[in-house]
Amino acid sequence: MAGNTIGQLFKVTTFGESHGPAIGGIIDGCPPGMALTAEDLQLDLDRRKPGTSRYTTARREEDAVKILSGVFENTTTGASIGLVIDNTDQRSQDYSNIKEQFRPGHADYTYWHKFGIRDYRGGGRSSARETAVRVAAGAIAKKYLREQCGIEIRGYLAQLGPVKVETLNWDEVHNNPFFCPDPAKLAALDDYMRQLKKDGDSVGARVNVVASNVPVGWGEPVFDRLDADIAHAMMSINAVKAVEIGDGFAVVEQRGSTHRDELTPQGFTANHSGGVLGGISSGQDILVSMALKPTSSISIAGKSINIQGEVIDVVTKGRHDPCVGIRAVPIAEAMLAIVLMDHFLRHRAQNMHVQVNTPDIARFKRD
Amino acid sequence: MAGNTIGQLFKVTTFGESHGPAIGGIIDGCPPGMALTAEDLQLDLDRRKPGTSRYTTARREEDAVKILSGVFENTTTGASIGLVIDNTDQRSQDYSNIKEQFRPGHADYTYWHKFGIRDYRGGGRSSARETAVRVAAGAIAKKYLREQCGIEIRGYLAQLGPVKVETLNWDEVHNNPFFCPDPAKLAALDDYMRQLKKDGDSVGARVNVVASNVPVGWGEPVFDRLDADIAHAMMSINAVKAVEIGDGFAVVEQRGSTHRDELTPQGFTANHSGGVLGGISSGQDILVSMALKPTSSISIAGKSINIQGEVIDVVTKGRHDPCVGIRAVPIAEAMLAIVLMDHFLRHRAQNMHVQVNTPDIARFKRD
Amino acid sequence: MAGNTIGQLFKVTTFGESHGPAIGGIIDGCPPGMALTAEDLQLDLDRRKPGTSRYTTARREEDAVKILSGVFENTTTGASIGLVIDNTDQRSQDYSNIKEQFRPGHADYTYWHKFGIRDYRGGGRSSARETAVRVAAGAIAKKYLREQCGIEIRGYLAQLGPVKVETLNWDEVHNNPFFCPDPAKLAALDDYMRQLKKDGDSVGARVNVVASNVPVGWGEPVFDRLDADIAHAMMSINAVKAVEIGDGFAVVEQRGSTHRDELTPQGFTANHSGGVLGGISSGQDILVSMALKPTSSISIAGKSINIQGEVIDVVTKGRHDPCVGIRAVPIAEAMLAIVLMDHFLRHRAQNMHVQVNTPDIARFKRD
Amino acid sequence: MAGNTIGQLFKVTTFGESHGPAIGGIIDGCPPGMALTAEDLQLDLDRRKPGTSRYTTARREEDAVKILSGVFENTTTGASIGLVIDNTDQRSQDYSNIKEQFRPGHADYTYWHKFGIRDYRGGGRSSARETAVRVAAGAIAKKYLREQCGIEIRGYLAQLGPVKVETLNWDEVHNNPFFCPDPAKLAALDDYMRQLKKDGDSVGARVNVVASNVPVGWGEPVFDRLDADIAHAMMSINAVKAVEIGDGFAVVEQRGSTHRDELTPQGFTANHSGGVLGGISSGQDILVSMALKPTSSISIAGKSINIQGEVIDVVTKGRHDPCVGIRAVPIAEAMLAIVLMDHFLRHRAQNMHVQVNTPDIARFKRD
């Protein structure tokens, strides 16, 4: 289908099905000379890994990534980086019953009609298992951006069903299995998830990602705007149904006199724009928010049809996350890193010699 | 900056600044054999044209498009289609005062830092004037999709500031200058806009676009998903800050048992997904919603700095829309058409021989 | 057909038919800050222009190029550059007789079968008229490479039919209408061309292009090698049937001990490789040679069929070059410039920080 | 370096170094529904495999390819196909002596200057080992083209040093280790190679590839011409220095009255064009010829410098082919298959509905 690549100069191409022998990918365009080992990728993979808490799927994957090329003596060489992650816990037998079923809310129906054949085991190519490769690729981008540009990319769970986060304390994000930055909400989250599991149901979530210290100037109008490429990348994550930059949908009711971020010699006075003006980074924090739908893999029976067009009841057994949004946090970080890395290289190609005497104004500090 | 192309098989590349001699573009990949004249493009261009009502900018552009190639005896030949629209009403003198100013909320600051040079006249390349070429290109895609696939692509204004549309009557959309489908809201819109002009301010808007009769199967996972490419295209429109597919952000509070659209032999029972499952069209209506920020070109003074870093007051004179969201309706339609056309060709390249015996279920009718 | 773009970071997209209202193109990716006017492009366009001597087609085109965007106050802004050249001397009446004929050696038969429709006037899109836009785009690349990198790109006629050039005197190339660097061959060329016109026939040619002062390091293995992209660009020129880099086909009979260019602290001792090793420029002159077939537009009758499949005789009237290879010299220079410009930007994106202490060895001087 | 992908709809991306743990690639865009197993790829891999005769390198690689994705129940699914071939015979110790040397005629010097780091073991990424992945990818394309379009792609050794093939007997090609179609030349080839090994030297070769039964209409002018893309693909093969289509360089001395292939209701009367007119396939055999330089890995000492710029003598030990051109035959076939497959899909995307009543003339039979 030739749609498995993202990026133009930092290109990530992935392969692999949920229940095939392995998933993997190729990262083409990583600059030479960066220190890199599999451990650098493993840290983020472990954050995404299923089975890390009772709130995510019980499927246990080692998700041990191997670097097959592009790194020599623990340093990137500029050659394409081949990655492979073996699928170690496949349990294909769980899925034989859905071979001819179109599970409502899943890609079964659309894959079947598009391709005429479907690897029905665990969703095949449409499974979120593929996102592990994105996380590994994103870890390379994150490392480069952090070391070369001082950029920090961090995500958190902003809302889970009715439970809204009210405080952003970055130090708390990694102290709980929800990536929740508001310790006052942990009890509510825990209660809600217990009830959800009891109900055999699932729920949606909002995930926010922030990139700090991005220099002014990244993004290529008019189509390859930074925000447009971010929207593309986020919407390419399984289950994402909406993306906002900065104030997002709140701008509908805003007036121009409120929305426009004024400039002072000390920096912008606000960040309604979310760090992008005219499709180009402004030097402020890049603010991205997204909505993830509730997974359709639930144990409550649903109506559907099979490939013969007959009416059926569908009950998804197997091991599934009641809220896929939680584990989306490291995935969203990875996608933002991949987009920023691509635009860093694209900007640098054509504008390295640009000399602007205007001092870059102090960057907006998000409190 | 090499970011002025969208699409892979139906490729649209644009050029042109607000106050240069002309804007234009190249459409590469239009199939041969379609009847096409400049008049086909002019219809949509006239819908976007400034100066059509007292609610939009008083700038008067003929926006007369010329087809320079790719069409022979009123039929597309398969060669690249060159388009040009002369800029006839430029009035450069209006803009000399902002030569060294960074207008808050505009791309002045980011273009300056990226390129070190800026065509400050009317926003230069960052002006929404460029979207006229998108509308012309989209008209080609719309015509092809309508004639070959029966697809209809229609947009409307869903909200303007606090005024929310409550009824979707397609027949009304073109009976008023707001693209408003709810005649009961016209008076409120009129009142609001009058006050806005009096205040010298601007306001945001929500625009919805719907594509009907899209066959099941379009979209190329995992990165070039139909919804991801739609998000990219919409976010590439000037002033767009958020995009939703189907239920969008409402999914955050939904449960899986509610969200998943059940299938019956008669079709889906709902369209929470917005016509896309797993990144591939489901045969249901494609539902897209977006937020457009209020333009920053207002006559209320704002604080900013100039290229020397000195504090200044900015007042935007000239002729500007108090709500750029209104005229975005034909632009959003055009972008959706371009994305669908691209995916039609991409799908067809690889899957023409797919034979699925399952009858395509009746499509969801949006009421 | 979506094949009208070349380049990844310096992207050139063209449109236009031989007898439409205009030809033109978009150059996307030119860095900002370069001084540029239409006159800079006109110089090379005039070198390619038909009607400049009795040896080329009598068709007279002004070939006056207009820059429609991307340049502000005679300086590139980083925005896409729109170009247009009006077709002023079309004489469509010359071509009505060939409307249903497939001229042997032309693209008539293949365009007809591919597209089912054909702009038969003067070859339509398959006409070499399109190459004028390449020359204009190439002039931008040449100027940038010359000013920023000191690169010089020069071509010459190396052979015309049986007449082989034996001396390379760059100063002579522009003193004669053949782009011939060997003044001793001018009389023979003149005699041969006179006889050819008398015979109503045409002949092939060999054209060489050399790029000097290209730094070591340009080219992106394994597929986007510099030599592979050069081969692509040259073979995309009308009538080109073969391309060599360095010693080209002579390597078939060479031994490794002869072919390998040895290195010394003073530079390479020879340039059999043609300036490319492993797909990456070596710092030596880039040496490219190509063969152009004799035009099939001759007044000697040829056998063919028409679109009904009937046997016909074809005689090409109108004004044609007896040797299209001559005018190919500036086109080949332009294509080499476009490829080098693209690879300059690509290399710079990913390797700007590379620090190699080894001093770049002195470059091979071609005598 | 982001140059490791070829193709637009049938995209092949490769990774891997000569002495890393594995090489591999991703084939994105293979249509669903084709029967495929690893054995289908292994056949061509075995033809390319080192160690198959005394004329090629003694290095022994199993070259056992594993399909990791995109194939379900021995059928392609439309998902990206991940391939891996483990490097089983690496012997890194052979290469430590060249760590700081620039071997003349190799990519050592250019990789070092481009990347500032070099996997010196066996050439690293610049090794022809990478071409094994191309052969595997090409086998997929060949199978599809053969089964769906009846296309046959076959190559042979046309010349090795001074020994020229005079007879084209396809049945003989696979009866000897030289891919030689002329049994009368086998003794001369054998003698020549023995002497070459004794001399410790290497020699160049000419390889021809022919695609039969390609339909009329493939290729996308003006830049993505079929012949231009073939030239790119062939020149991207290690050691290739020249490419011809059809008569190639012989056209320089041809006249138009000779070169143009006349058409009759029974087909073309000749194939000087090599099956491509105006960049589009004509229905005749696609005729491609290429020159491969003698490998620079020879045991005769050569002068060079090291990374400190000091004068050194280089002697390449290890196991190397005295004529790399021999094993290039299956690689060239693979590259031609990849290009044709890509253009098949591209053509089909935009021109499936083209109805041409003119009967496709009988195809030229090459005798």
CB within 8 Å: A349 and C348:
yes
Predicted confidence (pLDDT) at residue B320 exceeds the cutoff of 80: no
B350 touches D at CB < 8 Å:
yes
The confidence band for A363, taking pLDDT boundaries of 50, 70 and 90, is very low
More confident residue, B221 or A320: B221
Q: Domain count for chain D, please give it.
A: 1
Residue A175 has which token pair? 């102290």
Residues A107-143 have pLDDT tens digits of 999 999 999 999 999 899 999 999 999 999 999 999 9
Question: What confidence tier does B360 reach under pLDDT thresholds 50, 70, 90?
Answer: low
Chains that touch A (3 or more CB pairs under 8 A): B, C, D
Through-space distance between the first and last CA atoms of chain C, rounded to whole angstroms: 44
Q: What is the DSSP letter of C149?
A: I
64-83 in chain C: CB under 8 A from chain A: 78-79
pTM summary value: 0.96
Of C221, C349, C352, the CB nearest to A346: C349
Q: Could you tell me if B217 and B226 are in contact, meaning their C-beta atoms sit under 8 angstroms apart?
A: no
Give residues 73 to 132 of A whose Cβ lies within 8 Å of C. Answer: 78-79
CB contact under 8 Å between B350 and D32, yes or no, is yes
Please count the helices (runs of H) and the strands (runs of E) in chain C.
Answer: 7, 18
C357 falls within a domain: no
Q: What is the ipTM of this complex?
A: 0.95
Please check whether residue C280 touches D, CB under 8 A.
yes
Number of C:D CB contacts under 8 A? 411
What average pLDDT score do residues B127-150 get?
Answer: 96
User: CB-CB: which of A9, A32, A221 is closest to C349?
Assistant: A9
D56 touches chain C (CB under 8 A): no
| Residue A358 pLDDT level (bands cut at 50, 70, 90) | low
The shortest CB-CB distance from D295 to any of C223, C256, C292 is to C256
Confirm whether D218 is domain-assigned.
Answer: yes
Domain that holds residue A43: 5-351
Indicate if the pLDDT at residue D156 is higher than 60: yes
- Identify the pLDDT of residue D95: 72
CB contact under 8 A, A350 and C352: no
Alpha helices in chain B (DSSP H): 38-48, 108-115, 131-149, 186-199, 226-235, 256-259, 324-351
The whole-number pLDDT of residue B59 equals 57
- How far is residue A40's CA from residue C94's CA, in Å, rounded to a whole number? 69
Amino acid at A218: W
Confidence check: pLDDT of D90 > 80? no
Contacting A residues, span 183-202, partner chain B, CB-CB under 8 Å: 196, 201-202
Q: With a cut of 80, say whether residue A93 has pLDDT above it.
A: no
* Cross-chain Cβ contact D32/A116 below 8 Å: yes
| Structure confidence at residue D59 (pLDDT) | 57
Q: Do C29 and A348 touch (CB under 8 A)?
A: no
The Cβ-side half-sphere exposure at A367, using a 13 Å CA radius, reads 2
Q: What is the pLDDT of residues A169-222, one digit of tens each?
A: 999 999 999 999 999 999 999 999 999 999 999 999 999 999 999 999 999 999
Instruction: State the burial class of residue D128 (Cβ atoms within 10 Å of its Cβ: 0-12, 13-18, 19+).
Output: buried
A4, A233, A263: residue with CB nearest B102: A263
Instruction: Out of B9, B33, B221, name the one closest to residue D353 (CB).
Output: B33
Residue ranges of E strands in D79-178: 81-86, 152-160, 163-164
User: Has residue C86 been placed in a domain?
Assistant: yes
Confidence at residue D363, expressed as pLDDT on a 0 to 100 scale? 46
Is A239 annotated for ligand binding? yes
Residue C69 among known ligand-binding residues:
no
Taking contacts as CB-CB distances below 8 angstroms, the residues of chain B near D278 are: none
Q: Is C359 within a domain?
A: no
Per-position pLDDT tens, chain C of length 367: 599 999 999 999 999 999 999 999 999 999 999 999 999 999 999 988 765 555 665 556 678 999 999 999 999 999 999 999 999 876 556 677 788 999 999 999 999 999 999 999 989 999 999 999 999 999 999 999 999 999 999 999 999 999 999 999 999 999 999 999 999 999 999 999 999 999 999 999 999 999 999 999 999 999 999 999 999 999 999 999 999 999 999 999 999 999 999 999 999 999 999 999 999 999 999 999 999 999 998 999 999 999 999 999 998 776 678 999 999 999 999 999 999 999 999 999 988 767 666 656 644 333 3
What's the gap in Å between the CA of D109 and the closest CA on chain A?
14
Query: Poorest-confidence range of A111-115, B300-304, B354-358?
Result: B354-358
pLDDT at A254: 98
Q: What is the pLDDT of residue C315?
A: 86
Mean pLDDT of B33-47: 95
Q: What distance in Å separates the CA atoms of residue A211 and residue A149, rounded to the nearest whole number?
A: 12
pLDDT, greater one: D188 or C355: D188
Which pLDDT belongs to residue C171?
Answer: 97
Q: Does C365 reside within a domain?
A: no
Residue C269 vs residues C266, C272, C364: alpha-carbon distances, Å: 8, 10, 7
The model's pLDDT over B222-252, given as tens digits with 9 standing for 90+, comes to 999 999 999 999 999 999 999 999 999 999 9
Higher pLDDT, residue B110 or D55:
B110
Q: What is the DSSP string of B48-88?
A: H-TTSSTTS--------EEE-SSEETTEE-SS-EEEEEE--
Of the candidates D239, D71, C146, D142, the one whose C-alpha atom is nearest the C-alpha of residue A119 is: D71
Contact with chain B for residue D35, Cβ under 8 A:
no
> Residue C79 in contact with residue B124, Cβ under 8 Å?
yes
- Determine what percent of chain D is predicted with pLDDT higher than 90: 83
| pLDDT tier, D20 (very low <50, low <70, confident <90, very high otherwise) | very high
Establish if A362 belongs to a structural domain. no
Q: Tell the residue number behind the tokens 């190799």, with chain if given.
A: D106
What's the pLDDT at C356? 67
Task: Choose from D34, D220, D350 for mutation: most chain B CBs within 10 A.
Answer: D350
Q: Specify the pLDDT at position B321.
A: 83
- B116 CA: distance to closest CA in chain C (Å): 7
How much is the pLDDT for A317?
74
| pLDDT of B357 strictly over 90 | no
CB contact under 8 A, D25 and A25: no
Neighbours of chain B (3+ CB pairs under 8 A): A, C, D
In a domain, C356, yes or no: no
Closest residue in C to B121 (Cα) is: C72
D358 is a domain residue: no
**pLDDT surpasses 70 at D204:** yes
Beta-carbon separation of D349 and B354 below 8 A: no
Model confidence at B363, in pLDDT bands (50, 70, 90)?
A: very low
**pLDDT at residue A200, rounded to an integer:** 95
DSSP string, C129-145: GGHHHHHHHHHHHHHHI
Task: Tell me how close the Cα of C192 comes to any Cα of chain D, in angstroms.
Answer: 12
Could you tell me if B32 lies within 8 Å of chain C, comparing CB atoms?
yes
Nearest CA in chain B to D350: B31
Q: What is the pLDDT of residue D367?
A: 35
Higher pLDDT, C347 or A366: C347
Contact D80 A22 (CB under 8 A): no
- Cα nearest neighbour of A241 on chain B: B248
Look at residue A362 in the predicted model and tell me its pLDDT: 42
Q: What is the pLDDT of residues D22-61, one digit of tens each?
A: 999 999 999 999 999 999 999 999 988 765 555 665 556 6
Q: Does D357 touch chain B (CB under 8 A)?
A: no
Q: What is the pLDDT of residue B362?
A: 42
Residue pair C109/C102 in contact by the 8 Å Cβ criterion:
yes
Q: How far apart are CA C338 and CA C138, in angstroms?
A: 5
Across residues B59-67, what is the average pLDDT? Answer: 82
Which CATH number characterizes residue C56's domain?
Answer: 3.60.150.10
**Does pLDDT of D247 surpass 70?**
yes
Average pLDDT, chain B: 92
**Mean pLDDT calculated for residue range B45-54:** 73
Residue with tokens 């109008």: A221
C309 phi, psi to nearest 5 deg? 85, 10
User: What's the rounded Cα separation, in Å, for the pair A68 and A142?
Assistant: 20
The CA distance from C362 to the nearest CA of chain D, in Å, is 11
* Closest CA in chain B for residue A345: B1
Confidence category of residue B98, pLDDT binned at 50, 70, 90: confident
